[in-house]
Every structure is written in structure tokens, then in C-alpha cells.
Amino acid sequence: MGTARRAVAPRRIVVPRDAFNACYLPWLDTRQARQVFFGGAGSGKSVFLAGRAVLDALTGRNTLVVRRVARTLRGSCYNEVRKAAQRLGVLRHFRESRTEMSFTCRHNGAQILFLGLDDVEKIKSLTPRSGPLTDIWMEEATECRYHDLKQLEKRLRGRSRHKKRLTMSFNPVSRGHWLYREYFAGWQEGARLYKDDDLLIVRTTHRDNRFLSDDDRRAYEAERDPYYHRVYTLGEWGELSGQVFCGWHAEDLSGLAARADQLRIGLDFGFSQDPAAAVRLHLDRKRGRVYVLDELYLRGLSNARLAERLRVFAGDHPIVCDSAEPKSIAELRSLGLRALAAQKGPDSLRHGIRFLQGLEIIVDRRCTHTMAELQSYRWRQDASGGCLPIPEGDDHLIDAMRYALEQDSRRQRAQAL
């Protein structure tokens, strides 16, 4: 049987490799600054990260383990780390404090600490006993906010011989989550691994976990609800029911942007609470595709300043604008832009959505606001959970897309008559 070895002065501790699932062994020492372990229920990702934190402490790394709510830590991550130390045969090398929620390595003073993100002041003032914080593990990261991530990034500071890492683990509940927008631009659907110099993403399922019982496996495989089967059995990003736009995905469109010749520009006005939102699209009628090449998402701009941004964004192309603001359209025209009013008309919202639904929508990875709107835009539900033909959610850029493609939509309807 092979062994996984970590040197600890003044002794060497030998840990059996079969203490870990084989799929995780390559990632015991990986050093990417951002690491994502996601997938199905029962895949063993939390057990692995608990064990890795224990071995890391033996080499002098300080790890902070966080969840959104502090009270959930003791019954989950804290117990998991303790069990990992027992399973690896190294618990005697740690001083454990259940009161302070910490494990401290007796040989080098490195610590594993546990805090909830609901206590911001403790997070801000956290300092390990020996050396800087080198690792943060966000368990159930889908519970956390983007703001939490930015706060945690600021805690990884100070000189250390260890490269600093922020690791996230979760079940992939919905592509509308900020985690998807932040880290999964290069991810291929159905993949098991993505890796570059700064980012590691590993997807696992219960099938990778040899410690499960046959009954456990049968229960996961027997899941019949499509959403829960996709997320918790297959470990793939979920699509919640009622989503208006399902046929879209993100790509790097920088190569297309320079040669696109069927451009459409749309603008939805806004100022403070609602943004001014514009899109630049390329329509491939032959293939039934629309490419979202670029977006503007701006607050607090006067029409004069908005015109400056649009002049660069749209060039001399027509800009189809929300007709509800004729004064703003006139002002943009006076500033030299080819601003046109959308014609709208009866059922224009329904027709525009239907036209977009009939296209394959491909979004440039930089257009994060467009992706967020497409993901979160849903049909209103009735009391029984059924879908009503009333869309809900942020739609500033979606409206801009409808305006940009209004003439194409009208042409299609006319040809169908």
C-alpha cells in the first residue's frame, strides 16, 4: 500500500493513501490561489478538505474554515476536521479547544480556526497564533454572498513561505449564483476538471466516494426529480423550474467582435436605482443565433455623459431605445447619436421574449450582468407552483436585447402570416 507523506519537524508522520478517495489525491498539494470543489451530494469533498486542512497544519499552514452562519460549524466542519485527524492517526499532535473552536498543531503552532460569516468583526480581527492566515475554506459556499468573498480575500495577507489559497466547496444549485459567474467562464458542461495557473475546479459525485454503502448509492441514483437528480446525483449546475431563457451559454467572443457585421444595439434608460443598460449584438439569422458581444450597465449618468459612452460603444450604428423616454431619445440625437424609439405595440413584450427564446443565445464571458439577468428571469408562479405567463426579475439588458432585435422580430412575424 502506498503512503502520503508530510514532513513535520522533528519527526515524520506517515499517512496511508487509502485514507482518501483516489480522485482527490492529486489535489493534496495543489497550489492554485482559487480552488473550487463542487459536485453531487455524498461525493466526499468536505471529508477530503477536512483531511487536507489537518495535513496542511502539520506543515505550518493556518486555515480558517467558514460557513455563512457560525452555529452550523460545530456540527459540520468542526466535527469533520476532528474525525479526519482521528482517521489519519494524528489527533494527538493537536491541542483541541471546543470553546474557541480551534485545533493547534503542537509542533509548529499552526491552527485550524472556525468562524461564521455572520460575525464580521471577528473575521476582520482574526489572527492565527503563529504566522499569517494562508488558507480559507468556504464550506457550503452557495450560502455565502459575493460580499463575503471579497471580505475573505482581504484576510489572506502577510508574508509566508506558503502560497495563499481560498477554497470553496458546494453543491451547484443554480447557474444564477455569483459563484458560477465568478469562476466558471472557462468551464465545459459535463467536465470533471478545469485547471490553470490560478484556478482549479474539480467536480465529483457519489460515484467517486468509495466509503459510501450500496444503500447510499442506490438512494442517490433513485432520485427522480430532474432538478435534484442533476444537482445532487450528477453534480451539475441546476436549472430551477420556471426559467424563461434556457438555451444560452457563455463563450469568449473576442474573436467574433472584430468581424461581426450584423450588429444590433439596444438601450434601456435608467439613472439611479435602475441602470442605463445597453447591449451590442450580432445576429446570425441563418443559424438562428444571437451573440451578445458587449454590454453597458451604468448608473448616475446624465444623458450627455451617457452619450459619450454610447458613442464609443455603438459607433455610427442605430441605437434602438425604450420609447417611454422620448425626451432622452431627442437629447441623444441632438448629441449626434442615431437614437431610435422602439415601436413596441400590443404584446411587444410577449413577442420579443418568444423571438429571443427561438434563438440560441451566446453571451461573451465579460457580460456578467447579461448572464445574471438571463439566469434569474423567471415566470411568475401561481399558488400551486405552476407558471403564469408573466416574467419576473431584472430585465434591463433583456429589454435592451428586445429593442435591438425588434425589427427582426417584426419581420419574422410578418413572414409567418
pTM: 0.61
The residue-averaged pLDDT of 30-34 equals 95
261 pLDDT above the threshold of 90: no
Determine the pLDDT at residue 4.
53
Determine the pLDDT at residue 386.
63
Burial (CB < 10 A; 0-12, 13-18, 19+), residue 139, is: buried
Determine the pLDDT at residue 3.
54
Confidence of residue 185 (pLDDT cuts 50, 70, 90): confident
Determine the pLDDT at residue 417.
54
Q: Work out the angle between the directed axes of helices 303-314 and 326-334 (0-180°, nearest 10).
A: 70
133: cell is 492566515
The residue-averaged pLDDT of 277-299 equals 93
248-412 CATH fold: Nucleotidyltransferase; domain 5 (3.30.420)
Confidence of residue 384 (pLDDT cuts 50, 70, 90): low
* Residue 346 DSSP symbol: T
Q: Work out the angle between the directed axes of helices 396-404 and 406-416 (0-180°, nearest 10).
A: 60
Average pLDDT across the chain, whole number: 89
285 pLDDT above the threshold of 80: yes
Taking the C-alpha atoms of residue 323 and residue 307, their distance in angstroms, rounded to an integer, is 17
What's the 3-state SS for 218-273? HHHHCCCCHHHHHHHHCCCCCCCCCECCCCEEEECCHHHHCCCCCEEEEEECCCCC
Q: Where are the domains of the chain?
A: 3-233, 248-412
Pick the residue with more confidence: 406 or 225?
406
372: cell is 445574471
Determine the pLDDT at residue 5.
47
Pick the residue with more confidence: 345 or 135?
135
Q: Report yes or no: 270 and 328 within 8 Å, Cβ to Cβ.
A: no
Determine the pLDDT at residue 240.
60
Determine the pLDDT at residue 345.
78
Place of cell 425589427: 407
Which tens digit of pLDDT belongs to each residue from 299-323? 999 999 999 999 999 999 999 999 9
Determine the pLDDT at residue 411.
83
The residue-averaged pLDDT of 180-205 equals 93
Pick the residue with more confidence: 250 or 6?
250
The residue-averaged pLDDT of 382-411 equals 86
Confidence of residue 123 (pLDDT cuts 50, 70, 90): confident
Which tens digit of pLDDT belongs to each residue from 130-162? 889 999 999 999 888 888 888 899 888 888 889
Pick the residue with more confidence: 212 or 376?
212
> What's the one-letter identity of residue 192?
R
Q: Does domain 3-233 match CATH 3.40.50.300? A: yes
Which tens digit of pLDDT belongs to each residue from 214-245? 999 999 999 887 778 888 999 998 766 677 88
265: cell is 444595439
10 pLDDT above the threshold of 50: no
247 pLDDT above the threshold of 80: no
